[in-house]
Chain A
């Protein structure tokens, strides 16, 4: 009892408050998204999504309670087991799961279904924290890098096979944690450079210009520095590699499934096909853009209410908020997310064990990625990928997995005093 008291007092109530604020706002928005003024139904009505979401919220609170009363070392000790269980589930999903729109994402029985891909995130976070917790684990060394990337890429490969590219992308968010834990900056410079080149290659019609630019920059870099033959050879190879990459990209894109190709094309030209592929983004921008500064008022939105925006209670839930509460509403929600992320970094940095710090940064990475990509997608800054807005989007798997992910960290944080300092 005494230990539990101490732990309650040490729970980070700021993070918990922000969590409940986001879940509550999200719940009201789900009601707004499915609200039909002609068939007025209560927000608690389980025949509509807001009622069902309330059930998910209730069960999430049960999950929170279980996590909070459990021994904090439970997850640490079982992290690799949990990881392995979910990897097995991911392998099994294509065989025992239910196929929807060519994707096999969920398993379960009857109406109770979970998506292992969602839960595998926290399992991977736990596993990464576990393998990286030893003070000798140095990300600047090649063999450790291999281990870390191996743990990360296993679920990615399994999820891509389902196939669910959107969810698979989320795992790369862990690179942020790798960065915190000392992965050399060179990787990130290279990574950001590659992303920039990729975007340019996709955005610029004629690859010849890009190839020319690469050659010019390579030559300038060669002449600026020492002109040893090794350096000249290295730069030339990098330049040639880049040009090859640029030209191979078109080929790679053409091998992608058509719906992904279109999503990429629409990002560069949203007016390409406003009634077809561009419909989602166009309507989403109209809904958010019509909100103005203060919004149209709760339940007064017309675009989200009348189904102009598809998937508006799940991936496009931010539209309802933008339309009904305007820029001020967007500001509040984005501030809450930013505040939560800020708080989580503060919490991660005060951990005494490397395990909990790594896990904390995994939580930050995953939440940041979802938050950033989901909102960017609704306002046309990123291609449409099917990833939900944490705590907002309708759906049990999504709410549960984010809740479990976050509260395991809050639990670890609250019991940090009982742990021995093992920071490396």
Chain B
């Protein structure tokens, strides 16, 4: 019995060892949850935010850059200050502020850094920099905010801000995290992927109190951030600034396009705002202020406001009629004011005269011929067929749907289809007399200023357009821009039909918009008036110039400024002169526009 006992003791010892080894095997090899918990304990993932790409105008002038701002950080445990009076003088804070900031930092952590003084200016930074060594526990953290040296083109450029929770949810690639800045509107949003660059990540080790203990595995898993791509915009900053000067204090839009390329030279939405207000610490405060402003400075009119096209649409009607072989240059209609109101002009008129004089009854009659082709003996059915065919032709002008400009929230306006009238009046219960106001660009028809500018480009190009866009080059390479901005869109109208139109538009200037005439530069233009049931009509003018080999196509909307020949035509003419000649030779006209007193 006694001799077995050493064996029992040995067995016991082996049993203990085996139990310990099995338990160790369970937690070390089988269960991998401890590994993850160890990682979350000691390894901190620190994102290295890349430098966001810069934005230049078409001539290489800087529109958006990153402005460094400086935060003074504090590690309370290391912080020592000898002479508090001198310290407060240097950092421009009161003694109470010093104590308060220090206490709140201390409350957060005595060993982890926290913000001590927020956003000191570059000048203060330069002043403080040399004295920082005297104060252990303080250091400077640099951040970058967007900055706009000329405070221009806020709507087109857009702004960046903290990512919203819904955007985070939609980010299936999980690139973003809470607190990241993303483009929220304009080009900043549209070219977010190009501008943002690529985040880097650093893994660092921390001890139990969160104190930095150096890089994890000597930075083996760290990745460097890649700066965002620089973008060249199609915007001409000089022209943009001039347009903003002209539109200051008014409500409306100016869109200028280079017809041959679809590049947007200027895009002004008035009233506008200083984009510098939507950066940095005051973003939310200023955003709220702008958003609540009754004049809606954040509303991007060129792509979001829709108006009936008015008289200017008569040009489209003429082109559709010519192409379909219904209208001919010599087609004449009487100015029958019993059909629709008109103004005094020679009577009757042919097509040229109708455009030049903007004759309403002419188009009332012409449009009836375009719509009612007597394809069907049923006049209701006939109208329906005619309308849908007409709509198809008109849509090719980039109307009735979004163009696809490189900005978000673009509206498409509307060109009515037979279905719309079927819905409103019932199938077979409407005919030409129901829809005749479409003939002169009124009625159930809406376009955006951008679409109007594109129309001007189509007239200038004699039948084609490139989708208007704000992007010219990405990282200096024009071929990197989205492919659809390099595709020519034909509108389905033969070029020969445009000669008469261009001549009439050039001629029209003398009749309806004398102010817009430039001595040695032929401008082709057309006035319009968008009817406004709430007040004074909106002044509209589209133009392109020079008439031969056009370099600029433009639309100007000035809301509540009455007839198109005054406010809009004058503004457009000045813009054209500014762009093509670089100088303004008509200070009186400029003063007239700046004064803004168009109704008399």
Question: What is the interface of chain A, defined by CB distance below 8 A to chain B?
Answer: 36-38, 176, 179-180, 182, 283, 285-293, 300, 302-303, 305-308, 322-323, 326-327, 330-331, 334-335, 337-338, 341-342, 345, 348-349, 364, 368, 372, 375-376, 379, 381
Contact of A342 among B10, B19, B216 (CB under 8 A): B10
Within the assembled complex, what's the spacing in Å between the Cα atoms of A292 and B16?
Answer: 21
Given contacts A283-B41, A338-B13, could you give 18 more A-B pairs where the C-beta distance is less than 8 Å? A285-B34, A286-B37, A288-B27, A289-B37, A292-B32, A292-B35, A302-B205, A306-B41, A306-B205, A307-B209, A308-B42, A334-B20, A334-B21, A334-B24, A335-B17, A345-B10, A372-B20, A381-B20
Beta-carbon contact of B17 and A289 below 8 Å:
no
B206 within 8 A of A: yes
Do B9 and A327 touch (CB < 8 A)? no
Contact of A302 among B20, B27, B42, B209 (CB under 8 A): B42
Contact between A289 and B208, CB atoms less than 8 A apart: no
Is B31 an interface residue when CB atoms closer than 8 A count as contact?
A: yes
Give residues 6-35 of B contacting A (CB, 8 Å).
6, 8-10, 12-14, 16-17, 19-21, 23-25, 27-29, 31-35
Residue of chain A at shortest CB distance from B13: A341
Query: Judging by beta carbons under 8 Å apart, are B214 and A38 in contact?
Result: yes
Complex contact B34–A327 (CB within 8 A): no
- Bound-complex Cα distance A307 to B42 (A): 10
Cβ-closest 9 pairs across A and B: A289-B34, A290-B38, A306-B207, A302-B42, A289-B27, A338-B17, A307-B208, A327-B28, A290-B35
Minimum CB distance partner of B14 in chain A:
A338
- Contact partners of B10 in chain A: CB under 8 A: 342, 345
B453 within 8 Å of A (CB atoms) = no
| A331-B21, A338-B17 known; A292-B28 Cβ under 8 A | yes
Q: Determine whether B488 belongs to the interface, using a CB cutoff of 8 Å to chain A.
A: no
Bound together, the chains give a CA A335 to CA B16 distance in angstroms of 11
How would you classify the secondary structure of chain B's contact residues: helix, strand, loop or mixed? helix
Of the residues A179, A330, A335, contact of B9 by C-beta under 8 Å: A179
State the interface size on chain B (CB cutoff 8 A): 40
Distance between Cα atoms of A300 and B35 in the complex (Å): 14
State the Cβ distance, A255 to closest chain B Cβ, in Å.
Answer: 31
CB proximity of A54 to chain B, nearest CB, Å: 25
- Contact with B5, one of A179, A283, A372, A381 (Cβ below 8 angstroms): A179
> C-beta contact mask, B192-205 vs A, less than 8 Å → 1, else 0?
00000000000001
Q: Is B2 an interface residue (CB 8 A)?
A: yes
Report whether A334 and B17 are in contact in the complex, using a CB–CB cutoff of 8 Å: yes
Q: Closest approach, in angstroms, between the C-beta of B519 and any C-beta of chain A?
A: 77
B8 (CB) vs chain A CBs: closest residue: A179
> Which residues of chain A are within 8 angstroms of B32 by Cβ–Cβ distance?
292
List 24 A-B residue pairs with CB atoms under 8 Å apart, sorted by A's residue number.
A36-B213, A182-B2, A286-B41, A289-B28, A292-B29, A293-B29, A300-B217, A302-B42, A302-B43, A302-B205, A303-B42, A306-B41, A306-B206, A306-B207, A306-B208, A330-B21, A334-B21, A334-B24, A337-B17, A348-B6, A376-B20, A379-B20, A379-B24, A381-B19
> Of the candidates B17, B23, B33, which one forms a contact with A379 in the assembled complex, judged by CB atoms under 8 Å apart?
B23
0/1 string, B51-69, CB within 8 A of A gives 1: 0000000000000000000
- A323 CB, nearest partner CB in chain B, Å: 8
Contact A180–B23 (Cβ < 8 Å): no
C-alpha gap A315/B2 in the complex (Å):
36
In the complex, the answer to whether B24 meets A302 with C-beta atoms within 8 Å is no
A381 touches B23 (CB 8 A): yes
Q: How far is the CA of A405 from the CA of B362 in the complex (A)?
A: 121
